[in-house]
Amino acid sequence: MSGRITIVGTGPGNPAQTTPEAHAAIAAATQFFGYGPYLDRLELRSDQHRIASDNREELSRAKAALKAAAAGNVVCVVSGGDPGVFAMAAAVCEAIEEGPPSWRNLDLDIVPGVTAMLAVAAKAGAPLGHDFCAISLSDNLKPWTVIEQRLRAVAGAGLVIALYNPISKARPWQLGTAFAILREVLPWSTPVIFGRAAGRNDEAIAVVTLAEAKAEQADMATCVIIGSPETRIIERPGRAPIVYSPRATGGPQ
C-alpha cells in the first residue's frame, strides 16, 4: 500500500488566515503529527487521531510521520505559519534522505501558508517592502558565529531582517547580542518591530528604534523585524504609526 504524507501550514493562528487548501488537506487526513499547541488549533473528527510531540523533537516527529505514511495511513504533519520556513518541511525532507528507500516513493505534498513575518509586516505597514531576509536566531542547529556573520552581512548590504526564534528560556542572551551587533552596523534610528501573535486575539505589535530595542520585549511567539537604513516611520495622530521600506533604494550606506 502506498501511503501519503502532507505537510500543512495553518498560518499565523487566526483561522481566517488558513487557506482552503490547508483545510482540505486536514479534512483528508486521519493521523496528525505536530507540536501540541499547533494540533490544538485543529477541530478534528472522531476518526482523526493526533500524535503530539514537543517543540524540539522535529526529526523524530518527521520519522514517526513517515513511518505511519509508509504503513498506508493518510498522514498530516502540521506546522504553524508556513511549513517551509523554519518548520517541519525541512525536517521531513531530512528524514526522507536518511530513511529507507521506500520513503522516497511516498506521495509527499506540502501546503504553503502565511508565515509569521508576513502577518507581522501586514500589521505594521510594509516593512518588507523591499529586499529582506529571514534568519533564525536559534543556535541549537548552527554555531553562533555563523549567525553573527550573517547579521553583519545582511544589515551591511541593506536588507530588512526578520528574526525567527528570537528568544527562549534556553536561549536568553542571543537576541540582546544580535541588537548590539546590529547597532554597530545600522543607524540607531532604524525601526524595530516586535510582532507577537499577529492576527490572534492576544496580538501585540510594538514599534521602537534600534537604540531602544530590548530583548525582553520578545518571547517565543514573537517575530522581530529590523528595518534597513531606508525603512521609514509615518506618524499618525491617534493611530498606530506605519512602518514601511520604500520600493526605491539608493543603496546601503
By CB under 8 A, is residue 11 in contact with a second copy? yes
Binding residue (CB under 8 A) for a second copy from 94, 171, 183, 219: 94
**Residues 144-183 interacting with a second copy (rule: CB under 8 A):** 145-146, 149-150, 153-154, 156-159
Distance of CA 65 to the CA centre of its chain: 21
Q: Are 27 and 44 in contact (CB under 8 A)?
A: no
β-pairing, 239-244 vs 232-236, is antiparallel
CA distance 151 to 178: 8
Binding residue (CB under 8 A) for a second copy from 17, 31, 174, 190: 17
**Residues 188-227 interacting with a second copy (rule: CB under 8 A):** none
Q: Which is nearer to a second copy, 105 or 216 (CB)?
A: 105
* Residue 233, C-beta contacts closer than 8 angstroms, at least 6 positions apart: 191, 207, 241, 242, 243
Q: Which is nearer to a second copy, 19 or 177 (CB)?
A: 19
| Distances from the Cα of 201 to the Cα of 15, 73, 103, 198, angstroms | 11, 35, 40, 8
CB atoms closer than 10 angstroms to residue 234:
10
CB of 98 to a second copy, least distance (A): 10
Region binding a second copy by CB under 8 A among candidate stretches 76-84, 181-189, 200-208, 210-218: 76-84
| Residue 189, amino acid | S
CB of 104 to a second copy, least distance (A): 4
CA distance 160 to 132: 4
By CB under 8 A, is residue 91 in contact with a second copy? yes
Binding residue (CB under 8 A) for a second copy from 84, 166, 195, 227: 84
CB of 249 to a second copy, least distance (A): 4
What DSSP designation does 77 have? E
By CB under 8 A, is residue 119 in contact with a second copy? yes
Q: Which is nearer to a second copy, 1 or 16 (CB)?
A: 16
Q: Are 61 and 91 in contact (CB under 8 A)?
A: yes
Region binding a second copy by CB under 8 A among candidate stretches 34-42, 94-102, 200-208, 213-221: 94-102
